[in-house]
Amino acid sequence: MTEIVAEISGNHGGSLDNAFKLIDAAAEAGADAVKFQCFQPERLARRRANNPDVLRLAGGVPLLDLYRKTYTPMFWFPQMAQRAKWNGIEWFSSVFDPNDVRFLEGLECPRYKISAFEMLDWDIIKAVRDTGKPIVISVRPIPGVTVMQVTDYNGEMVPLGLSAHGAILPAPDNPMVEWHLKLPGVETPDSDFSLTPEEMARLVRKIKK
């Protein structure tokens, strides 16, 4: 069975109430888990300052400005994790720096995601590996989708997952699909490649029929 992950990213638009609404909407749409993004804007902008792929995707927008718009404050995380638990779904987070891992370990984060831009960043990979937690790592970005390598809760490698930008369905035997979720009327840098709750619910029904 394909695990369905709703990526919250910065689609909360800087509002904790919107983050709660996204978690609630993910659960109602049939998602199995929600994923957050944990980073400090200044640190992430420095780490990625010389990455041409990142700069190209930013489209000329200064990275620090972009990350400040999509930042999820760290003091939200305990409340978001509790909201996911209240909805009966799992949560986990992307990390972009070893400091992110240390912070989330204090919250007993059950699983970690490493983005395609950090897939060769040994400092982050080692920090995550040292936790002994399951890892989801994006390994091959192509237009519209990113192939993900996934480990299960026993640390065993499983077939590739799919991180989709837009209404893309995974193959029937795909172990995981991740879609960005947005709220209607809340415009963010991620809105163009995110699904509304209704769009996600329709895709979930196709997978779980």
pLDDT at 38: 97
**pLDDT digits 0-9 by tens, 72-114:** 999 999 999 999 999 999 999 999 999 999 999 999 999 999 9
**Nearest to residue 183, comparing CAs of 26, 78, 48?**
26
Q: Please give the share of the chain, as a percent, with pLDDT higher than 70.
A: 83
Domain ranges of the chain: 3-208
Q: How confident is the model at residue 166 (pLDDT cuts 50, 70, 90)?
A: low
Tokens (6 digits) for 84: 């996911």
- CB count within 10 Å of CB 196 equals 16
**pLDDT digits 0-9 by tens, 20-78:** 999 999 999 999 999 999 999 999 999 999 888 888 888 889 999 999 999 999 999 99
**pLDDT digits 0-9 by tens, 12-25:** 999 999 999 999 99
**pTM above the 0.85 mark?**
yes
Q: Is the pLDDT of residue 170 over 70?
A: no
First and final C-alpha spacing in the chain: 11
Please give the CATH topology (third level) of the domain spanning 3-208.
TIM Barrel (3.20.20)
Residue 139: enclosing H or E segment and its boundaries? Answer: strand 135-142
